[in-house]
């Protein structure tokens, strides 16, 4: 489901699949001892490390549209729709709670600067809001019981 929605959101399929695989199967390989440049603090959370990693991948892209970061947020948000106890038909409440309990909106990059992803997060929210009927239909098909 993630790849379908990423493609509809204008995120390259390869990038979406790459992000999905890394989130679902682990990104520990990306934080190997020889590759400390993505990690600012050895004690930072896995979520922060993943976000730093995907942000760095976006910076390496010739045409940086923050696609890795957007795919990261979309992946976690779609999962959140499946796991939340909030009435998903109250889509704005789901978004609000997602921000409060599930995800970070900013990171500290390797230079020690704060990088905020509110713009990307709200682009994903707007996209899902515009396509909520299809989203609900997809969620019912594979994840909800009546």
From first to last of its 146 residues, the chain has per-residue pLDDT tens of 678 899 899 999 999 999 998 888 776 555 554 444 544 455 467 778 889 889 999 999 877 789 999 999 999 999 999 999 999 999 999 999 999 988 889 998 878 899 999 999 999 999 999 999 999 999 887 544 44
Strand partners, 15: none
Decide the pairing of beta strands 106-108 and 114-116: antiparallel
Domain coordinates in residue numbering, the chain: 2-142
CA distances for 125 relative to 79, 96, 119, angstroms:
14, 10, 10
Residue 110 to residue 39: CA distance in whole angstroms:
7
């Amino acid at each position: 489901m993630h790849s379908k929605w990423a493609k509809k959101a204008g995120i390259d399929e390869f990038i979406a699949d790459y992000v999905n695989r890394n989130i679902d199967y682990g990104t520990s390989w990306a934080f190997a001892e020889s590759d400390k440049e993505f990690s600012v603090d050895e004690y930072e959370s896995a979520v922060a490390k993943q976000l730093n990693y995907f942000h760095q991948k976006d910076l390496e892209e010739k045409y940086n549209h923050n696609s890795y970061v957007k795919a990261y947020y979309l992946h976690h948000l779609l999962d959140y729709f499946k796991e939340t106890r909030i009435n998903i038909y109250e889509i704005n409440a789901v978004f609000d709670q997602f921000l409060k309990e599930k995800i970070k909106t900013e990171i500290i990059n390797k230079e020690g600067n704060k990088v905020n992803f509110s713009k990307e997060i709200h682009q994903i929210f707007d996209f899902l809001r515009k396509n909520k009927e299809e989203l609900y239909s997809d969620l019912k098909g594979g994840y909800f019981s009546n």
